Amino acid sequence: MKNIKSILDPILPYIYNGVYPPSDDTYLIIDYFKKNVSENFFDGLPFTTIRNVLDMGTGTGIIALFLQEIKKYFSKFTTKIFASDISDAAIRCATINERTNNYKDNINFIKSDLFRKFPPSLQHSFDIIVFNPPYLSSISYKENDLIRRSSDSNWDGGERGFEVFLDFIKQVKDFLNSEQKYYIYYISSSSTDLNQLNDELETRGFQNRVLNKKHIFFEDIILNRLEEL
């Protein structure tokens, strides 16, 4: 049976200032997909049931491009791939990287603050959503002689570290395909109150499963998967 462990990561010659570069959290997602996407299934979901996949907060576009690589590798994976970001610079960067990887006009890019500018035609259409949100608290601190500014939207998740993600959760059900099983993959951090986050998710009808984690400096970064409760 074919698997994708040998697929190379996308080439990213363009990384703009202010656009979040691929980091440990990014590769936590990609490495999980490499181990859990097979010839007919995306982490247990049959390819034939997956119509639309969204990379929310795409940044450089690396996750969306890796999903395109899966499509190239497995002909049965015929999903449409969408990628969105609040940043003009990120959309420009991801579009150039798409072209560099010979996928021009394959990814559907949307500039939007979460789902606020998504067209109504995409409501209830996504079977898989991947989101690496900003997940640190809104405080200024010094790390390795680098001053983190509370205005840095690449990492600033709000006062508790997950307000941006909860804003996403409040909007996401209008865009999930609730007629069948769906997955939301996201990154969280042990530097936030994960029990409080899980309580918030359960209140909104989601079941959280921890898939993998990695310890980096002062925190664990955690890859999670949400399903319907």
pLDDT along the chain (229 residues), means of 10: 77 89 95 95 97 97 97 94 96 96 94 97 98 74 46 61 91 96 96 93 96 92 96
Q: What is the pLDDT of residue 229?
A: 87
* CA–CA gap between residue 182 and residue 127 (Å, rounded): 5
- CA gyration radius for the chain? 17
Instruction: Report all structural domains of the chain as residue ranges with CATH numbers, in order of start.
Output: 25-228 (3.40.50.150)
Reported as half-sphere exposure (CB side, CA atoms, 13 A), residue 183 has a value of: 22
Burial of residue 82, with CB atoms counted within 10 A of its CB: 0-12 exposed, 13-18 middle, 19 or more buried: buried
Q: What is the pTM of this model?
A: 0.91
Q: What is the pLDDT of residue 108?
A: 98
* CA–CA gap between residue 141 and residue 5 (Å, rounded): 38
Q: Is 120 helix (H, G, I), strand (E, B) or coil?
A: helix
Q: What is the pLDDT of residue 191?
A: 87
* CA–CA gap between residue 164 and residue 56 (Å, rounded): 12
Q: What is the pLDDT of residue 141?
A: 45
Q: What is the pLDDT of residue 136?
A: 64
Sheet of 52-56, strands arranged across: 107-111, 80-85, 52-56, 128-131, 183-189, 219-228, 206-216
Q: What is the pLDDT of residue 140?
A: 44
